Amino acid sequence: MTTTTDVKVSEVKDLTRVERIGAHSHIRGLGLDDAFEARNVSQGMVGQKAARRAAGVILELIRQGKIAGRAVLLAGQPGTGKTAIAMGMAKALGEETPFAMMAGSEIFSLEMSKTEALTQAFRKAIGVRIKEETEMIEGEVVEVEVDKPAAGGVSKTGKLTLKTTEMETVFDLGQKMIESLVKQKIQHGDVIAIDKASGKITKLGRSFARSKDFDAMGPATKFVQCPDGELQKKKELVHVVTLHEIDVINSRSQGFLALFSGDTGEIRSEVREQIDGKVAAWREEGKAEIVPGVLFIDEVHMLDIECFSWLNRALENENAPILVVATNRGITRIRGTNYKSPHGIPIDLLDRLLIISTSPYTEQEIRKILDIRCEEEDVEMSEDARDLLTKIGHETSLRYAIHLINAAALACQKRKGKEVEMEDIGRVYSLFVDVKRSTQFLMEYQEQFMFNEMSPDDEMEEDSAQHTE
Ligand SMILES: Nc1ncnc2c1ncn2[C@@H]1O[C@H](COP(=O)(O)OP(=O)(O)OP(=O)(O)O)[C@@H](O)[C@H]1O
Ligand SMILES: [Mg+2]
């Protein structure tokens, strides 16, 4: 039985695929109950209840699809979970609703104008739900007959017999369909669907009539009824594409492959106008609906005055997505001007924003987040070590403490320990300094660094002044 061992090898490979762990990979939603009340710890989210609840209300508005052009600002100190909440919103929205995200600074590094970059981002966040009628052939496989070619390899012709409860028909098979049948291991007793236009074959399950094979098939097998009526049926297919995707596919200079490389360049406004017209026509015919999604702009204080005024205007469009922006700045200069304003955002845009503020975490909440991160990063840690790390997180920053988890795990591995102990934490705490200690070091040895701009009596005030400047 060499074939079965072959299969096993490939399965093992699949399982050991490395999954990278990102800063927010533990967040799986906003962790709200049915009444939008934030659960203490849920879906990877801890505390910050008011902000999570507010985000949940916004989500509900999006789901109902009633409001367009609303904008929300997540404001709060660094490391208070603003980006995390936005990620939670994205997860909670599901696949159907588009969620586009960008950092404010991105618009300055793309090879296109700022407004083009913003237009693309906006259109990435607007979905079009397109309804399509297709002809499908659905039936239970009676027989797959493939001519074995003399020279080996995949055969080029064959026949497929399908039946419903009422009829039975023989279909001719092309090479592509044969490959697809072989790949999906489709055999006598499977129920399949074939898209008539594309020839794409989908396995729906095993016929109930075959349920006595259950032992042979394993528990993963899904059993379905043998279809009744005609073999050919009209089916309504619904899919959501974003306006940006339609733009790229239709912009002749780039071609749809640009969708994968991300190298879309500027899209001509005529193309967009045409597409908007087409979509409007589809909507009137009932073929398509607009699905306003979410555009999240992190570090929004990096946008400049031109971008802000563009946003002001764009939000008034009836198809505008919900705009979620985040910043950790206080009263600061608006980029591109000499004026200061709260969060570095002009007052007229601020006026359009619903503001959700986030606040620093308590020691208990930090502990809980660190627990979740330990689990996410697959690190065993003793209670003492967790206590110490929580204290460090409270006194320095949550991010610093999160970063120490993995470093400490390496230290533990090095001494061949089973779980991370206080000594490992202590070791990495002295290896990697946090901002406070680094600043202190700079103060003490400033003469030895390049471009030193501090006069001896400036001391720490300079540092805090820079944040609010
Ligand atoms: N309520 C929370 N529950 C679980 N994890 C959280 C929570 N808040 C923050 N985190 C995690 O803590 C880390 C820092 O939070 P995050 O990046 O969201 O901060 P931020 O408010 O965006 O900060 P900045 O202003 O510096 O961008 C992230 O790894 C994040 O996933
Ligand atoms: Mg952030």
How does pLDDT run along the chain (469 residues), one tens digit per residue?
333 333 333 333 334 445 577 889 899 999 998 888 889 899 999 999 999 999 999 888 888 877 677 899 999 999 999 999 999 998 888 888 899 999 998 888 767 889 899 999 999 999 999 888 888 888 999 988 887 766 666 667 888 899 998 888 888 888 888 888 888 888 888 999 888 877 888 888 888 877 666 556 666 678 888 888 888 888 887 888 999 988 888 876 655 555 565 666 788 888 899 999 999 999 999 888 888 889 999 999 999 999 999 999 999 888 888 999 999 999 999 999 999 999 999 999 999 899 999 999 999 999 999 999 999 999 999 999 999 999 999 999 999 999 999 999 999 999 898 999 999 999 999 989 888 888 888 888 877 777 766 665 554 444 444 444 3
Answer whether 104 contacts ligand 1 (Cβ < 6 A): no
Q: How far is the CA of 361 from the centre of ligand 1 (A)?
A: 10
Which ligand lies nearest to the CA atom of residue 79 in the structure? 1
Pairing between strand 288-292 and 126-146? Answer: antiparallel
Number of H helices, E strands in the chain: 17, 17
Task: Evaluate: CB of 401 within 6 angstroms of ligand 1.
Answer: no
> Cα 312 to chain center, whole Å?
26
Handedness of CA 232, 235, 241, 245 (dihedral sign): positive
Q: Find the CATH number of the domain harbouring 409.
A: 1.10.8.60
User: Which residue among 259, 286, 313 closes a domain?
Assistant: 286
Instruction: Say if 449 falls within a structural domain.
Output: no
- Torsion, Cα 425 429 434 440, to 10 degrees, reads 150
Among 286, 303, 337, the domain boundary falls at 286
Judge if the beta carbon of residue 78 lies within 6 A of ligand 1. yes
**Cα-based torsion angle of the residue sequence 291, 297, 298, 299 in order, rounded to the nearest 10 degrees:** -170
The CATH number for 74's domain is 3.40.50.300
Tell me the one-letter amino acid at 54. A
Which helix H or strand E contains 410, and what residues bound it?
A: helix 398-414
In terms of phi and psi (left: phi > 0; alpha: psi -120 to 50; beta: otherwise), the region of 74 is beta
What is the residue range of 403's domain?
A: 363-432
Reported pTM: 0.74
What distance in angstroms lies between residue 388's CA and the mean position of ligand 2's atoms? Answer: 25
* 421 shares a domain with 374: yes
Residue 138 sits in the same domain as residue 282: yes
Is 188 in the same domain as 253? yes
Query: What CATH number did the domain enclosing 248 receive?
Result: 2.40.50.360
Residues 222 and 280 in one domain: yes
Phi and psi at 253, nearest 5°, equal -70, -25
Q: Report the pLDDT value the prediction gives residue 368, as an integer from 0 to 100.
A: 94
Statement to judge: residues 255 and 107 lie in one domain = no
Q: Is the CB of 81 under 6 A from ligand 1?
A: yes
* Contact partners, residue 232, CB within 8 Å, separation at least 6: 135, 136, 137, 196
Instruction: For ligand 1, say whether the CB of 300 is within 6 Å of any of its atoms.
Output: no
In the reported structure, the alpha carbon of residue 45 is separated from the centroid of ligand 1 by a whole-number distance in angstroms of 10
Does the Cβ of 251 fall within 6 Å of ligand 1? Answer: no
Residue 127, amino acid: G
Rounded Cα distance between 62 and 317, Å, is 16
Q: Is the CB of 399 under 6 A from ligand 1?
A: yes
136 and 281 fall within a common domain: yes
The pLDDT value recorded for residue 86 is 92
Are 118 and 75 in the same domain?
A: yes
DSSP string covering 338-398: S-EEETT--HHHHTTEEEEEE-PPPHHHHHHHHHHHHHHTT--B-HHHHHHHHHHHHHS-H
Q: Are residues 205 and 190 in contact, defined by beta-carbon separation less than 8 angstroms?
A: yes
| d(C-alpha 246, C-alpha 128), whole Å | 9
Q: Are residues 386 and 341 in the same domain?
A: no
Closest CA to 139 of 184, 204, 199, 208: 204
Together in a domain, 401 and 262: no
Q: Please identify, by atom number, the ligand 1 atom nearest to the C-alpha of residue 23.
A: 29
Write down the pLDDT at residue 284. 92
Whole-number CA gyration radius for the chain: 29
Q: Ligand 1 pocket, 53 CB below 6 A?
A: no
Residue nearest to atom 29 of ligand 1 (CA): 23
Among residues 199, 187, 188, 295, the alpha carbon closest in space to that of 242 is found at 295
What separation in Å is there between the alpha carbon of 85 and the centre of ligand 2? 9
Whether 341 and 246 map to the same domain: the answer is: no
Residue 457 neighbours by CB distance under 10 Å: 6
CB of 23 sitting under 6 A from ligand 1: yes
Q: Is 74 in the pocket of ligand 1 (CB under 6 A)?
A: no
Q: Are residues 186 and 260 in the same domain?
A: yes
Measured in Å, residue 454 CA sits from the centre of ligand 1 at: 32
CB count, 10 Å around CB of 263? 10
Instruction: Establish if 443 belongs to a structural domain.
Output: no
Burial of 244 (0-12, 13-18, 19+ CB in 10 A): buried
3-class DSSP string for 437-459: HHHHHHHHCHHHCCCCCCCCCCC
120 lines ligand 1 (CB under 6 A): no
Q: Is residue 396 part of a domain?
A: yes
Whether 377 is covered by a domain: the verdict is yes
Among the bound ligands, name the one nearest to the CA of residue 81.
1
24 lines ligand 1 (CB under 6 A): yes
CB 21 less than 6 A from any atom of ligand 1: no
> Is residue 19 domain-resident?
no
Smallest CA-to-CA distance from 157 within 177, 176, 174 is with 174
Q: Tell whether ligand 1 has an atom less than 6 A from the beta carbon of residue 38.
A: no
pLDDT score, position 258: 58
State in Å, rounded, how far the first CA of the chain is from the last one: 73
Is 10 within a domain?
no
CA of 447 to the centre of ligand 1 (A): 35
The alpha carbon of 387 and the centre of ligand 1 are apart by a number of angstroms equal to: 20
Q: Which of 401, 416, 432 is the last residue of a domain?
A: 432
> Are 376 and 298 in the same domain?
no
* Cβ pair 202, 90 in contact under 8 A: no
User: Using CA atoms, how far apart are residues 334 and 302, in angstroms rounded to an integer?
Assistant: 9
Atom of ligand 1 nearest to the CA of 328: 25
Long-range contacts, 112-115 (Cβ 8 Å, 24+): 112/265, 112/266, 113/266, 114/304, 114/306, 114/307, 114/310, 115/306, 115/307, 115/310
In-domain check, residue 24: no
Nearest CA to ligand 1 atom 11: 81
Please report the DSSP string for 242-253 in residue order.
EHHHHHHHH-TT
Question: Which residue, among 153, 203, 151, 204, has the nearest Cα to 175 in the 3D structure?
Answer: 153
User: Which ligand number lies closest to the CA of residue 25?
Assistant: 1
C-alpha triplet 104, 105, 107: angle, nearest 5°: 85
- Whole-number Å distance between alpha carbons of 315 and 324: 12
Q: How many domains does the chain have?
A: 3
Residue 454 lies in a domain: no
Closest CA to 96 of 293, 282, 318, 321: 293
Task: Compute the distance from residue 182 Cα to the ligand 2 centre, in Å.
Answer: 48
